Amino acid sequence: MDIPMQNKLADRIKLREESVRTRMLNIAGKLDDVIALGRGDPDLPTPAHIVEAGQRALANGATHYTHPMGMPILREAIGETLADVDGLNYAIDEIVVTTGAQEAVFAAMLACVNPGDEVIVPAPGYTSYDQAIELAGGVPVPVATYEADDFALTAAAVAAKLSPRTKMLCLLNPSNPTGAVTPPSEVEALAALAVEHDLIVISDEIYARLVYDGAEVLPVARLPGMKERTITINGFSKAYAMTGWRVGYFATSPGLVKALTEVHHGLTICAPAVSQHAALAALQGPQDCVAAMREIYDQRRKVMCRALDEMGLSYGKPAGAFYVYANVSKTGLPASEFCVRLLEDAQVMIFPGSLFGDHNDNFIRISLLQPVERLEQAIQRMAKTVTALVGS
């Protein structure tokens, strides 16, 4: 059906197939008591001391622009965190506070990608990357990751996709939607590839504070020859349950920082002042709130993995983030149909992997963002639907 004015859109705009998400949201709107395991927005509140810092900042007049790169005192605190927690050494003028990590992704692509440049992205992945690459005129080149490897990205798979047009490699470590942590040995091999082929690397470490079972995230910029070619992206949304504050950051080398800062300034001028004050409190305050949230997600992860085992559904064991990426092909339905069935029959909302680039439509991304009691309720409902489809 022709929609008036749609033919006026710029060629660079690719309208994505959103029909499953839209269909599910429409169905959910007519149902009661839907248990939402769809979005990536923590159900836990922003810790009180961070909220209070934001309130104090507003009362004290933090209602104006800040320095475009972010308040110096916040960039200093970010620099200290990057050094102490991640082992990365960035000077204050190599760090830029952005309106969420999301803005950093778009600033990076717009500043670095030329029309026709290829950018390697893990698949399944966080499709905002594809969107940002395409907006910049680039070509996303998906590199498949597999359930059998717990969806870890491998340097061998990346090497097979490199071409003379490859400009950039994107690492999501840990990954959305799979929760995979790239093993340090693979990070090293990927870094070697990046140096050999002179690639820019984006290392999105927004889930790096949320890892389990002793998994280690190796920040790629720590490796020899990597700081100059890496754009490290991180933020506050996930670790501190601060999605609505819209504050994140990137850190990169002098060669890249100026151009990315220009794009950032053009997009948003600066991150919200009040949120920068809250972010400062997050970094300077006690870190046990992060540990406590990690514990909660870990408990939920164990509950969900056990339940999937009992349902006979396989998954890639997540070592990070707060998702489980599960294979529902056993139910005989494409994952997108399974999700609609689950919503209609059991009032549980989970999004299919097709929203994250799973073209075979076999997987679902379960967000662990409900209290355990509610998760257990969702599991009971889900088990009934699965049993009805698979047979007991």
Ligand X SMILES: Cc1ncc(COP(=O)(O)O)c(C=O)c1O
Interacting residue with ligand X among 37, 71, 123, 126 (CB under 6 A): 126
Interacting residue with ligand X among 248, 318, 353, 357 (CB under 6 A): 248
Interaction of residue 122 with ligand X, rule CB under 6 A: no
CB atoms within 10 A of CB 128: 14
Q: Rule CB under 6 A: which of 34-53 touch ligand X?
A: 40
Closer residue to ligand X in complex, CB, 53/171: 171
Residue holding tokens 């778009």?
106
Closer residue to ligand X in complex, CB, 79/125: 125
**Near ligand X by CB under 6 A, which window of 48-56, 94-102, 137-145, 368-376?**
94-102
Interacting residue with ligand X among 66, 81, 145, 176 (CB under 6 A): 176
- Whether the CB-CB separation of 96 and 249 falls below 8 Å is answered with yes
Interaction of residue 243 with ligand X, rule CB under 6 A: yes
Paired with 251 in beta bridges are 95, 232
Residue nearest to ligand X (CB): 100
Q: Considering the complex, what minimum distance in angstroms separates the CB of residue 392 from ligand X?
A: 36
- Reduce the DSSP state of residue 90 to 3 states and report it: coil
Closer residue to ligand X in complex, CB, 100/316: 100
Closer residue to ligand X in complex, CB, 171/375: 171
- Give CA–CA dist 71/57, Å, rounded: 13
Interaction of residue 366 with ligand X, rule CB under 6 A: no
Interacting residue with ligand X among 38, 42, 54, 100 (CB under 6 A): 100
Residue holding tokens 């609609």?
340
Q: Considering the complex, what minimum distance in angstroms separates the CB of residue 237 from ligand X?
A: 3
Interaction of residue 130 with ligand X, rule CB under 6 A: no
- Give CA–CA dist 293/287, Å, rounded: 10
Edge-to-edge, what's the strand order for the sheet holding 315-316?
Answer: 315-316, 323-327, 363-367, 351-352
Residue type, 89: N
- Whether the CB-CB separation of 228 and 255 falls below 8 Å is answered with yes
Dihedral sign, CA of 305, 315, 20, 204?
positive
Q: Considering the complex, what minimum distance in angstroms separates the CB of residue 102 from ligand X?
A: 3
Q: Considering the complex, what minimum distance in angstroms separates the CB of residue 78 from ligand X?
A: 13
Tokens for 106, please give them. Answer: 């778009």
**Near ligand X by CB under 6 A, which window of 97-105, 134-142, 223-231, 338-346?**
97-105
- Whether the CB-CB separation of 132 and 278 falls below 8 Å is answered with no
Interaction of residue 357 with ligand X, rule CB under 6 A: no
Interacting residue with ligand X among 66, 166, 237, 331 (CB under 6 A): 237
Closer residue to ligand X in complex, CB, 141/247: 247
- Reduce the DSSP state of residue 280 to 3 states and report it: helix
**Near ligand X by CB under 6 A, which window of 6-14, 46-54, 96-104, 137-145?**
96-104
Edge-to-edge, what's the strand order for the sheet holding 230-235?
Answer: 95-98, 248-251, 230-235, 200-204, 166-172, 118-123, 139-144
**Near ligand X by CB under 6 A, which window of 4-12, 22-30, 99-107, 364-372?**
99-107
Residue holding tokens 């999700």?
339
Q: Considering the complex, what minimum distance in angstroms separates the CB of residue 7 from ligand X?
A: 31
Q: Rule CB under 6 A: which of 191-220 touch ligand X?
A: 204, 206
Q: Considering the complex, what minimum distance in angstroms separates the CB of residue 171 from ligand X?
A: 10
Size of the site for ligand X (CB under 6 A): 13
Residues whose CB is less than 8 angstroms from the CB of residue 292 and which lie 6 or more positions away in sequence, other chains included: none
Q: Considering the complex, what minimum distance in angstroms separates the CB of residue 126 from ligand X?
A: 4
Tokens for 94, please give them. Answer: 């190599």
Cα radius of gyration (the chain): 21
Interaction of residue 143 with ligand X, rule CB under 6 A: no
- Give CA–CA dist 174/294, Å, rounded: 14
The alpha helices in the chain, defined as continuous H runs, are: 19-29, 48-59, 72-86, 100-112, 128-135, 155-159, 184-196, 254-268, 273-284, 288-311, 335-346, 372-390
Which residues form the interface with ligand X (CB under 6 A)? 40, 100-102, 126, 172, 176, 204, 206, 235, 237, 243, 248
